Amino acid sequence: MAKLKDEGISVGLAVVIVGDDPASRVYVNSKKRACEEIGIYSEEYALKGETTQEELIELVKKLNEKDDINGILVQLPLPRHIDEEAVINAISPEKDVDAFHPVNVGKIMIGNYDFLPCTPAGVMELIAESEIDLAGKECVVVGRSNIVGKPMSMLLLHKNATVTICHSKTKNLPKVIKRADLVVVAVGRPEMVTGDMIKEGAVVIDVGINRLENKKLVGDAHFESCKEKAAAITPVPGGVGPMTIAMLMKNTVKSAKLKAGRK
């Protein structure tokens, strides 16, 4: 960051939160802390739950025009009366550091992108740092959301993996998971994937975060049973979550660089 500042490049992130969802507040606070730690200027817009869709989109349009803001993040989920798709579409693709805008989604599909969705990008970074060669590997992604499952499958495909996407209608899910060299699970169901469902030596990447009745945080994979068979497994919390925040910071910095004509 100091080098960018020396070159006259400032980096700014605007985070918008609507309502008082406790989980969203935790996420927003962690993003603000990350900005402070690495020296990114940040603005928070905490809007009341009854904020209208029109008011939210008007704010997004104003942020699109702000020169000191390079990234705009609208924390999801939004209240039910607001159309998330309309809000995402209102964000300038050049400031869409979540990479949810259709323009950025399309770029990811063809492999010529500026930004990647933060969680899938974090997963790919973990894979790269662990020196896992994906070429020819059988990868199973459990979950087909626009935020994780779909872009995750595309990124694995770009690395020459053979990818299967599973979802609620998949028949014989345990059998499909069993053949995977690498499993990415992102469905929001606590400890759904158990050790007997994975093959010996598989890599398990757990994107889920769920709070049990006893307040314990767990992932979508049953850590204790899976770790007995897995070659590697990410913990929850402390695995993919911090990588998601790191990738958000990376996207925001990249947006500032692109604006300044830098790659």
> Which tens digit of pLDDT belongs to each residue from 106-136?
999 999 999 999 999 999 999 999 999 999 9
Q: Which residue has the tokens 């904020």?
A: 51
Please provide residue 183's backbone torsions phi and psi, each rounded to the nearest 5 degrees. -120, 125
Distance CA 207, CA 244 (A): 10
Active site members = 31, 75, 98
Architecture of domain 2-96: 3-Layer(aba) Sandwich (3.40)
pLDDT digits (tens, 9 = 90+) for 70-95: 999 999 999 999 999 999 999 999 99
Residues 53-71, mean pLDDT to the nearest whole number: 97
CA 142 to chain centre: 15
- Hey, is 217 helix, strand or coil? strand
| Long-range Cβ pairs for the range 85-94 (8 Å, 24+) | 86/53, 86/57, 87/53, 87/56, 87/57, 87/60, 90/57, 90/60, 90/61, 90/64, 91/60, 91/64, 92/64, 94/255, 94/258, 94/259
Residue 218 has a pLDDT of 95
Per-residue pLDDT tens over the stretch 180-220: 999 999 999 999 999 999 999 999 999 999 989 998 999 99
CATH 3.40.50.10860 residue spans of the chain: 2-96
Q: What integer pLDDT is reported at residue 18 of this predicted model?
A: 97
Within the chain, which residue ranges are assigned CATH 3.40.50.720? 118-240
The strand pair at 210-211 and 217-218 is best described as antiparallel
Task: Report the C-alpha gap between 107 and 112 in whole angstroms.
Answer: 5
**pLDDT, mean of residues 235-240:** 95
When pLDDT is averaged across residues 224-253 and rounded to a whole number, the result is: 96
- The rounded distance, in Å, linking the Cα atoms of 97 and 252 is 6
The band of 21, judged by pLDDT with boundaries at 50, 70 and 90, is: confident
Q: Which fold, 118-240? A: Rossmann fold (3.40.50)
Residue listed under structure tokens 């345990």: 174
Work out the mean pLDDT of the chain and round it to a whole number.
Answer: 95
